[in-house]
Amino acid sequence: MADTKAKPGLLLDIRNLRIEATVFPPGEPPKNIVLVHDVSLTLEKGKVLGLIGESGAGKSTIGLSSMGYGRGGVRITGGEVILNGRDILKGGKDGFRKLRGREVCYVAQSAAAAFNPAHRLMDQVVEATLLHGTATRAEAEKRAVALFKKLSLPNPETIGERFPHQVSGGQLQRVMTAMALCSEPDLIVFDEPTTALDVTTQIDVLAAIKDAIRDTHVAALYITHDLAVVAQVSDEIMVLRHGRLVEWGGTRQIIKEPRQEYTNALVSVHEIEHAEQKPGTAPFLSVKNITAAYGGSHIKVLKNVSVDIYPGQTLAVVGESGSGKSTLARAITGLLPPEQGTVTFDGRPLANRLADRPKEDLRQLQMIYQMADVAMNPRQTVGTIIGRPLEFYFGMRGRERDKRVAELLDKIEMGKGFSDRYPAELSGGQKQRVCIARSLAAKPKLIICDEVTSALDPLVANGILKLLLDLQKEENVAYLFITHDLATVKSIADSIAVMYRGEVVRYGPKSKVLAPPFDAYTDLLLSSVPEMEIGWLEKAIKGRRMASAGN
C-alpha cells in the first residue's frame, strides 16, 4: 500500500484495523473473538462516509475506533488509526483526552439517553468546547445559538435554557448535532442518529444534519442500517458484514450498481410483492366509533375511530408516534376499555373490559409485540412459551403438546432443538418468530401486530414479513398491522387506515389509499419515506405541504 500520509486533504486513514473482545461463556474458559477483521478506510476532509450493515457488523465499533474508543471491554489490537497525520492509538490516554470532543465528536443514537437530564441543554452543548479551552463561554454560546439556528431549531436563542425532557426527540437529536459541531471538530461520528425517530421527524433531522455538514465542512462517518438514509447524506458508502468489508464505493455506484451479492440484497430488501385482496362481503371484526382516553377522559387519544377487518386479510394502521395506533390495539384487546363505541366480533359485540371476555374470545384475538425480548418471560423456555397457549386453550398435555410445539417451531422455520432454549439464547429475529408461534398456537382469527418489525434489521424484518404472509395463506388469519413504516405497509397490507392525532384521516383498500389525490397528512407521510435515490431528500423537503406533528 502506498504511503498516504503525504496526500493532501486526507483526514482519517484507518489501516488494517483489528478489534477484539473477550467473551466469558459460562462453564468454558474465556476466549477471544475478533469483531473487526483488518478493515481499512480513508476519509478526506469535508467528506461523508456511510458505514452500513446489520447489527453485529462492527459498524459502530469501527466508527468509535476513530476516536480511539472501545465500548464495553472491546480492544483495538491491531492496525493504525491515522487522524490529521498522526497515529492516535499511540497517543496514550492523554492523547485521547485532547482528541475526543475537540478533533472528533460523537452523535449517539438515542439522544434522550445520551443527555444528562439534570443539566440544561446549553451547559451540555458548550461543555466540550470549554473543557478544551478553545473558546470563552460567551463565544461558545454564541456559536451554539448560531448552530441551533442552522439546525432550524425553534427559538434558537432560548432553547439552550431548557432541560432535555422539555424538547421533542427530533429536536434533541439536532441539539446533539449542535453539541458535536460546537467545538468545531474535524470529524463527527454519527451513530444511527435518526433510527429511533418517526419518518416524518427523521426527514427534518436528516436535512438539518446534511446542511450543517455542508456549511461547516466537517467530515463525517455516518453509521446506519438504512441504506436509503445513508444515500442522502454520504459521498461514499462502505458495506460491512460480520466485521469484514463487503463493498466500498461511491454512493451512486453502491445503490445503482452494487457489485456484491450482499449489497444487492440490502438494496432490494424492501420489495415484497403482495397482491391486494378485495375486501370480502362481511367483516368479522368491526370497530365502530371508538373513543378512548387516558387519565379519566381528559386526554382523548382516540376520536371516533371506525375500521373493519375481513377474514384472512391485513389491515395496516399507519401514523407517527402519538397518533393513537397502539391505543387502538389496546381498545380492541380490552386493555383500555373505550369510553364510547363498540367492537363487534363475528356479529356479536365484544365486552369492553378484558376481564369480562370469555376465554374463547381471548383465544381468537392474539397479539405480537414490538419488543420481542420483553414480550417473552425470560425465565421460561421456548417450549413453555409456545406450549402454554396449547395447555391453556386446548388442554393439551405431555407428548401431544410437545408434538404441536415442534410443528409450530417448524412453521416458523426454526428447528426442534430450540424448544429447550431460553429467550436470552435467541437472536432478535428468532425471538420475534417465537412470539409469532405463540400467537399462532391459539389458532386465532386475528393477530394484532404492534410494530413487529421496527426493532429488527431490514433483512431480518423482511424474513418476518414473508413468514407472516405465508402463515396468513396457510392459516387464514387476519392481521391488524400497526406500523410507522410505509414500506412495510406496501408489502403486507390489503387495506390501510392512516391515523393522525387520534383520528383516522384516510381509510380504504391499499390501492385507493396509496393513490392520489392525497390529503395533506398522507402526503407528508408518503413523501417522508426515504427512497433509495440520490437527491431525494431535497425534493421531498421542497414538496412538503405541512410540517410533522412531532416538530
Partner 1 sequence: MLDIKRIPIPALIGIILTTLFVLAAVFAPWIAPHGNGEIVGDVWEPMSAAHLLGTDNLGRDLLSRMIYGARITLFIAVLATALSFSLGAILGFSAAVFGGWFDTLLSRLVDLLMSIPTLIMGLVVLSVLPTNLVTLILVMGILDSTRVYRLSRAVAVDINVMDYVEAAKLRGEGSGWIIFREILPNALSPLVSELGLRFIYAVLFLSTLSFLGLGVQPPDADWGGMVKENKDGIVFGIAAALIPAAAIALLAISVNLVADWVLNRTTSLKGGRG
Binding site residues, partner 1, CB under 8 A: 25-28, 333, 335, 354, 357, 359, 362-363, 365-367, 369, 371, 374-381, 388-389, 392, 422-425, 438, 442
Q: Report how far apart, in Å, the C-alpha atoms of 95 and of each of 12, 20, 88, 101, 395 are.
A: 16, 22, 7, 12, 66
User: What is the rounded distance in angstroms from the CA atom of residue 497 to the CA atom of residue 525?
Assistant: 12
Instruction: In angstroms, give the least distance from the CB of 21 to partner 1.
Output: 17
User: What is the rounded distance in angstroms from the CA atom of residue 346 to the CA atom of residue 350?
Assistant: 9
195: DSSP letter? T
Choice between 4 and 377, CB closer to partner 1: 377
**What is the grid cell recorded at 516?**
392520489
- Amino acid symbol at 230: V
Report the largest interatomic distance among the alpha carbons of the chain, rounded to a whole angstrom.
79
Choice between 408 and 549, CB closer to partner 1: 408
Instruction: In angstroms, give the least distance from the CB of 110 to partner 1.
Output: 19
Query: How many CB atoms neighbour CB 95 within 10 A?
Result: 15
253: DSSP letter? H
Instruction: In angstroms, give the least distance from the CB of 507 to partner 1.
Output: 26
**What is the grid cell recorded at 266?**
440490502
Task: Taking each helix axis as running N to C, give the angle between helix 137-150 and helix 169-182, from 0 to 180 degrees, rounded to the nearest 10.
Answer: 130
Choice between 255 and 434, CB closer to partner 1: 434
Choice between 366 and 483, CB closer to partner 1: 366
438 Cβ contact list (under 8 Å, min separation 6): 366, 376, 385, 386, 388, 389
Q: Report how far apart, in Å, the C-alpha atoms of 111 and of each of 167, 176, 234, 338 are.
A: 11, 7, 21, 34
340 Cβ contact list (under 8 Å, min separation 6): 289, 290, 291
Choice between 345 and 500, CB closer to partner 1: 345
Three-state SS at 299: strand
Q: Report how far apart, in Å, the C-alpha atoms of 472 and of each of 312, 345, 445, 447, 451 are.
A: 6, 19, 10, 10, 17
**What is the grid cell recorded at 128?**
466540550
- Quickly tell me which residue has 436528516 as its cell: 206
Instruction: In angstroms, give the least distance from the CB of 242 to partner 1.
Output: 23
Instruction: In angstroms, give the least distance from the CB of 353 to partner 1.
Output: 12
Instruction: In angstroms, give the least distance from the CB of 451 to partner 1.
Output: 12
User: Residue 222: in which H helix or E strand, if any?
Assistant: strand 219-224
Instruction: In angstroms, give the least distance from the CB of 306 to partner 1.
Output: 23
Instruction: In angstroms, give the least distance from the CB of 285 to partner 1.
Output: 16
Instruction: In angstroms, give the least distance from the CB of 425 to partner 1.
Output: 6
Choice between 146 and 371, CB closer to partner 1: 371
Q: Report how far apart, in Å, the C-alpha atoms of 224 and of each of 3, 125, 166, 517 are.
A: 30, 24, 27, 33
Choice between 40 and 380, CB closer to partner 1: 380
Choice between 68 and 428, CB closer to partner 1: 428
Choice between 177 and 483, CB closer to partner 1: 483
